[in-house]
Structure 1
Amino acid sequence: WAWKARALLEEKNFGPEWMEMVEVWFQCKEKKGFVSPTKGVAAKLRPVQVGAWVQRARTGKPDIKDVEEFAASWTKWWQEINPPWRKGIVPMPCTDGCWSSMDLPGPNGFLNVLICLKWWRERLQEESEGWKEAVGDVKWV
């Protein structure tokens, strides 16, 4: 699943920060042995497009009518799934702490966060500051 997901994330080169983020994600999955547990990232506040994509066996393109609304939805979800000590405005504090709540391998885990960033960027005419900050924050995590 991880190789297929990586290919999907790398379909378009959104710049060095994006490619580095994908590589960091892939290396983390590799270290975990590409396990595929059923537990995933919390669905609370998750963009509705993620659920639809998962139901379609992670194929096709999402229905995103308003990219700003989608970005706001992703940001609220990202803030929700981060550890309590790291809540705040993106980019959030980059400090040490317990990350066990974010250790979510498998296709229902962190991949959903990354695929949303891909969809967000695909809908933009050009790279936005908000998207760049989000990618940087996810890469740091």
Structure 2
Amino acid sequence: EKPLCPPKAAQWFIDAHAQMTRQDLGCHFDAVIEAWTRLEVASRYEQGPTNLPPKGRPAQVGAWIGTHRGKRGSDPKVTDPAAFAVAWKNWWDFLQPAWRVKDGDGKWSVTGGYGKDGTEWGNLYQWGVNGTLSLLAALYFWGVAVEGQGELETVWEAEVIDVAWMLEGMAAYYERFNRKF
């Protein structure tokens, strides 16, 4: 069962939610959708303080933004998943807050708590139509391209788990400290 879109969501969110759940990409991607939903509900679907930085962003995400986030044209295709993975990792690494550390295998640690008591999110702390939605779009396009492709899908899934962990922390922080009600 795919994640539900909240009632009374902003139209941009309804459209994006429908697009990002069009294809079932599994429970880990559902966790990303659910954490993103929590963050956007807590922010009342407003735009964050700035836009998510585009430095190193995969070209497909920029193309998607250029089509008004899929409203004009079809979703971008990831024709070279290995190259997309490199671009994604460069972008994701750039977006990480200073407190994050990599483990011995060069992967971001998802153990322990969130740094600075979960109050410091750096470049990732951008919500709204120009914020974390771009992360979801990148993962969605990539996931569609690698579904059922063994090791390529395994690499994608590891990144999805990391994004879910970070978005869950951001959502909890926003719900706890910045709720705008």
* TM-score in same-fold range (> 0.5): yes
1:9-28 maps to which residues of 2 (within 5 A)?
9-28=20-39
Runs of 4+ in structure 1 deviating by more than 6 angstroms, as ranges, are: none
Instruction: Tell me, in whole angstroms, the C-alpha distance in 2 between the residues paired with 1:25 and 1:50.
Output: 17
CA offset digits 1:4-54 (Å, max 9, x no partner)? 111111111111121122011111110011002572111111111211111
Q: CA 1:71–1:27 in structure 2 vs 1: closer, same or farther (change >3 Å)? A: same
Give how far 1:71 is off: 1.4
Per the alignment, residue 109 of structure 2 pairs with 93
| Aligned pairs, number | 140
Is the contact made by 2:51 and 2:131 (CA closer than 8 Å) also made in structure 1? yes
Kindly report the root-mean-square deviation, in angstroms, between the aligned alpha carbons of the 2 structures.
1.7
Instruction: Tell me, in whole angstroms, the C-alpha distance in 2 between the residues paired with 1:78 and 1:132.
Output: 14
Identity over aligned pairs, percent: 28
1:131 aligns with 2:166: no
Unaligned 5+ segments in structure 2 are: 1-11, 167-181
1:1-141 maps to which residues of 2 (within 5 A)?
1-37=12-48, 39-59=50-70, 60-88=74-102, 89-90=106-107, 92-94=108-110, 95-97=113-115, 98-126=120-148, 128-141=153-166
Give how far 1:106 is off: 1.1
Quick check: which has more Rg, 1 or 2?
A: 2
Is the contact made by 1:38 and 1:108 (CA closer than 8 Å) also made in structure 2? no
Q: CA 1:6–1:93 in structure 2 vs 1: closer, same or farther (change >3 Å)? A: same
Unaligned 5+ segments in structure 1 are: none
Which amino acid counterpart does residue 35 of structure 2 have in structure 1?
A: V
Instruction: Tell me, in whole angstroms, the C-alpha distance in 1 between the residues paired with 2:48 and 2:36.
Output: 16
